[in-house]
Structures are given as C-alpha cells and as structure tokens.
C-alpha cells in the first residue's frame, strides 16, 4: 500500500497519482509536480488515500510544492500567452496553406514547450510549420493531431439533449461505442439521432449500456412473439425504461397494437431487428474515434 494524491491537469482530464510527500491536501488545491513533459501545475482531484501497489505506475513521483501566488499568476500569464500563440499559429497555417484545423494551444508550466492541437482529415506534413513556429517562440514546439471526439472535449458545447457535453463535464476518458449498443437500447439507427455533435456515436450509449443490459433480460425485443392476457401477438414497439410494450395480436392483425407491461407477457420467441448491409456500413463510420 502507498499513500497517493490524484492530480488533474485539464478540466475533466485523466487523474494521475503522485506521492504527497507528507502533505495533506484537499480537493481543489493547486499543486506543482514533475511530469513526463516537465514541471506542471495541476489541481487535486483525489485527496490523500491508500492505494495498492498494483494500481500505481512506478516510479511514483513526489509532490514538489503546493502552488504559491506566484505559481498561480504564472498560470494566468500562460493562459494569455496561449491566446496569442493560437492567433499566430492560425496565420502560419494559412501562410503554409495546410489542410488542418487548429483546436487548442497549451504552454507547459515552465514554458519549455508549446503544444498545438489540431484536427485534419489525413496526414499533414507540418515540418516547415514547426520550424516557423520555433523561430517565433524560441522554444520547443509540438504539434499533436487529435480526433474529433478529443476536439469536442476540449472545446465543449451543448449536446442534442440540451445539456453540456458529457466528455467535457464528467467523463475522464473515451471508451469504445458501437452500433450494437444503439440496437440493444432500442434507439433509431438514424445517424442524426445517435451521433453527438462530434459526428461520432454518443458517449452516453456506453455508460448507460449496463443498465440497458439488465432491462434486456426482462423485456422482449421488437419482433418478439409473446403471449399476453389477450392472446398471442408480436411486439411492434417498446419503451425499455418503462417496460411498456406495443403488441399486435394474432387474433386482430389489422387492429391497432395493444399496450401491455413487460411483466404481463411471456416470451415465446425472441425477435431480431434486420438492418440493410449498406446502411450498416454507413453507420459503422460513426464508431471511429
């Protein structure tokens, strides 16, 4: 067992463990630590606690110090520099006629490196751009190509649900999301309805999946054949969360489907939703990062 603190360097970013070096820290405190890319200032996201050695990536680096007023002032200065660097980089990209979209700029705390994050449809030869930027800023320059999901996390915004993006408010990282999840949750396989603003499958399909898997075990799917109090029929529609089923009875095939609770019916044969192969191939594009 080892005592650690969890430090986060970006809003809703990954949490990294550090040795508190005898200090007791509270969530929200700002601290100075040494990372793989140099000295950084981060926020305490996890207070002092004991962690099994197996859960720690060695070597566990020690806390350098609690951030001082001068450290916090330097962070503010870096934020101002980042805005200036962003505008300069935009002009340089235009001058070099590169097919890339600049997303964000980040100074390391000690100013030994500037990171430029961008998106692009393919590979970009930015070697001349790096040389140009290095001549302007006189420090190490790193350009990182990121995916559209990372772009959404950095920029933030509102999702189709009307709430701020999950990725920029509480999701620490991205997990694979598949079309199968949308099918199992009974969602329309319309790309507009199951994709987020980033153009990829919505993250909520993943973290809600476990709850839906529990419901699937007790709820017949669409096209299932079931026995109801009014006789045998076929499920035409359902609300997974409420357990309400619409069933077209065999005894009245031309009548409107009747409504039943899933607890009122007995499954005879499970149903499957058929998807056109060309439609499936198009939907698969939404699974990419």
Name every residue whose Cβ is closer than 8 Å to that of residue 49 and which is 6 or more positions away in sequence: 3, 4
pLDDT value of residue 56: 82
Is the pLDDT score of 6 beyond 70? yes
Is the pLDDT score of 88 beyond 90? yes
Is the pLDDT score of 59 beyond 90? no
Tell me how far the alpha carbon of residue 87 is from its chain's centroid.
Answer: 27
pLDDT band at 217 (very low <50, low <70, confident <90, very high): confident
Domains recognised in the chain with CATH numbers: 2-67 (no CATH), 73-146 (3.30.300), 179-214+278-287 (no CATH), 222-269 (2.30.30.30)
Q: Collapsing DSSP states into helix, strand and coil, what is residue 125?
A: coil
pLDDT value of residue 272: 58
* Range 181-186 contact pairs with CB under 8 angstroms and sequence separation of 24 or more: 181/205, 181/206, 181/209, 181/212, 183/273, 183/275, 184/209, 184/212, 184/213, 184/216, 185/209, 185/212, 185/240, 186/221, 186/222, 186/238, 186/239, 186/240
pLDDT value of residue 284: 66
Take residue 217 and report the two structure tokens written for it.
Answer: 């075990």
pTM score, whole prediction: 0.74
Q: CA-CA distance, 95 to 227, in Å (whole number)?
A: 70
pLDDT value of residue 52: 87
pLDDT value of residue 186: 76
Residues 109-135 pLDDT 10s: 989 999 999 999 888 999 999 999 999
Which of 187, 236, 248, 244 is CA-nearest to residue 219? 244
Mean pLDDT across 130-141: 94
Q: CA-CA distance, 249 to 234, in Å (whole number)?
A: 6
Query: Which element (helix H / strand E) includes 258?
Result: strand 258-261
Is the pLDDT score of 251 beyond 60? yes
pLDDT band at 221 (very low <50, low <70, confident <90, very high): confident
pLDDT value of residue 289: 60
Mean pLDDT across 142-148: 93
Q: Are the beta carbons of 133 and 92 closer than 8 angstroms?
A: yes
Residues 155-204 pLDDT 10s: 889 988 889 998 888 887 888 888 888 888 878 888 888 888 888 999 88
Is it true that the peptide bond before 59 is cis, omega within 30 degrees of 0?
A: yes
Q: CA-CA distance, 289 to 285, in Å (whole number)?
A: 9
pLDDT value of residue 278: 65
pLDDT band at 286 (very low <50, low <70, confident <90, very high): confident
Higher pLDDT, 230 or 59: 230
| Mean of the per-residue pLDDT values of the chain | 88
What's the DSSP call for residue 98? -
Is the pLDDT score of 44 beyond 70? yes
Q: Are the beta carbons of 141 and 117 closer than 8 angstroms?
A: no
């Amino acid at each position: 067992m080892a005592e650690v603190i969890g430090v986060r360097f970006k809003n809703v970013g990954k949490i990294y463990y550090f040795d508190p070096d005898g200090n007791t820290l509270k969530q929200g405190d700002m601290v100075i630590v040494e990372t793989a890319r140099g000295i950084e200032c981060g926020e305490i996201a996890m207070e002092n606690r004991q962690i099994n050695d197996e859960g720690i990536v060695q070597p566990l680096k020690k806390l350098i110090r609690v951030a001082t007023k001068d450290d916090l002032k330097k962070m503010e200065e870096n934020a101002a520099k980042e805005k200036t660097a962003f505008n300069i980089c935009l002009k340089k990209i235009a001058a070099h006629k590169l097919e890339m979209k600049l997303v964000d700029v980040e100074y390391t705390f000690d100013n030994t490196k500037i990171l430029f994050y961008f998106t692009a449809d393919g590979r970009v030869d930015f070697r001349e751009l790096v040389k140009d930027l290095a001549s302007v800023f006189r420090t190490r320059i790193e350009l990182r190509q990121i995916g559209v999901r990372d772009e959404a996390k950095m920029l933030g915004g509102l999702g189709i649900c009307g709430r701020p993006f999950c990725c920029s408010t509480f999701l620490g990282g991205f997990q694979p999301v598949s079309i199968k999840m949308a099918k199992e949750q009974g969602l329309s396989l319309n790309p507009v309805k199951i994709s987020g603003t980033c153009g990829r499958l919505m993250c909520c399909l993943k973290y809600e999946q476990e709850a839906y898997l529990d419901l699937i075990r007790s709820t017949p799917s669409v096209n299932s054949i079931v026995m109801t109090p009014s006789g045998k029929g076929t499920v035409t529609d359902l609300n997974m969360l409420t357990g309400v089923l619409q069933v077209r009875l065999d005894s009245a095939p031309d009548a409107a489907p009747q409504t039943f609770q899933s607890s009122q019916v007995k499954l005879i044969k499970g149903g499957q939703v058929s998807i056109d192969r060309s439609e499936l191939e198009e939907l698969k594009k939404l699974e990419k990062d």
